[in-house]
Chain A
Amino acid sequence: MRNKFIKKITITAVLSALSTLAFMLENLFPPLFIPGARMGISNVFILFTIVAIGYEYGFMVMTVKILLGSVFSGNLSGVLYSLPAGLLSCGVQTLLVYFTKNFSLPAISVFGAVINSAIQNTVFCLITNTWEYLSYLPYLTLIAIVSGLIVGLATYLLIKKLPLKTITDK
């Protein structure tokens, strides 16, 4: 039992590091057409953790990625709107993975990305009192659909190709 827990925590730490690294690398490139828009490749590791290890570990990976990624990339103000969006997006994806059990990973990822984009945009407007920025929301949602699809397909391939006996609890 204890060994299982240690194994899960160790894998979560590795996935957190990979997610943070992907997040920081992505921040080095210019945004996709719209300020703040990214592909969100780091979310592959979060969705993978939710499915393969457990939702609470997925939340851990997401929190570590946002906190450490923001500190290391020198954009601390980003935590204010990234963290609530990440929490809600993870929550929605967890519900779709564990409760509905009817949807594919790409669809779940697309829905999570759209929720993330909408919450991030709304919280940004709330914090900065700049409701005019909502006019970027339709474009950000379109980018979220494409990026969510890519992240979902990547997670699907990762789950299909990786030797999961080394990761899951059996």
Chain B
Amino acid sequence: MKKEKGSTELVSKFIESKPFHVKDLILYTFILCAVALLFVFFIILPKTDKPNGFSVSVNNEIVFTFEFSTEQITVLNENYQLSHDKNHNTITLYVDGNSYNKLSYNTNNLTVKIIDSNCPNHDCVDFFEISSGSGVIYCLPHGLKILPLVPIQSEPSTGGRL
């Protein structure tokens, strides 16, 4: 191993070789089988019940839950500031001081997503909207997590499921 470490022999081997080998098929087959299994276990098998609401937690502590049928917010932790705009179907949660995440919900389609945030990477805004019992939205910088409340679960703390 030491003999060939970063050596011209090793580099020459790659220069002379083609970009595809027959033996690559072993790796590609293995990867494609893994992908197929992942799709079966995480996309096809999980049930996709429509959620009847969602819970929002910060640092794994539930701040509030929301029910689509009543459009009611149940606050479980009063340390956070909330602003509910019923005209535009949005809820803004101030995680600490100026840090915020703005949620938009749709009571007809039973969906929720984050539409605005002042977190550094904005990954939370790019998450798929939650439209089934297996969705999740996470904002790592703010420690905020949104999970669906599915009909068979009455306890809001249990949140979503896979």
Residues of A within 8 A of B (CB): 8, 27, 30-31, 34-36, 51-55, 57, 73-75, 77-78, 97-99, 101-108, 110-111, 114, 124, 128-135, 137-138, 141-142, 145, 152-153, 156, 159-160, 164-165, 168-170
Contacts and interface: CB of A to CB of B under 8 A. Distances in A.
Contact of B27 (A111, A135, A138, A153): A111
Contacts of A128: 138, 140, 143, 145
Nearest to A54: B6
B19 A170 contact: no
Given A104-B17, A132-B147, A53 B6 contact: yes
Contact of B38 (A129, A130, A138, A169): A138
B21 A102 contact: yes
B49 to A, nearest CB: 14
B24 A98 contact: no
A12 to B, nearest CB: 10
Nearest to A31: B126
A52 B18 CA distance: 17
A63 B131 CA distance: 38
Contacts of B1: 98-99
Interface of B: 1, 4-8, 10-11, 13-15, 17-21, 23-24, 27-28, 31, 34-35, 38-39, 42-43, 46, 60, 120-121, 123-124, 126-127, 134-136, 138, 140-141, 143, 145, 147, 160-162
Contacts of A138: 35, 38-39, 42-43
Given A30-B126, A104-B20, A135-B136, A159 B15 contact: yes
A74 B120 CA distance: 7
B6 A105 contact: no
A102 B10 CA distance: 12
A170 B6 contact: no
A135 B120 CA distance: 24
Contacts of A130: 136, 138, 145
B135 A132 contact: yes
Nearest to A55: B5
18 contacts: A35-B126, A51-B6, A51-B11, A55-B6, A75-B121, A104-B24, A106-B20, A106-B24, A114-B31, A114-B34, A128-B145, A130-B136, A133-B138, A141-B34, A164-B11, A168-B7, A170-B7, A170-B8
Contacts of B136: 130, 132-133, 135
A144 to B, nearest CB: 9
A138 B46 CA distance: 13
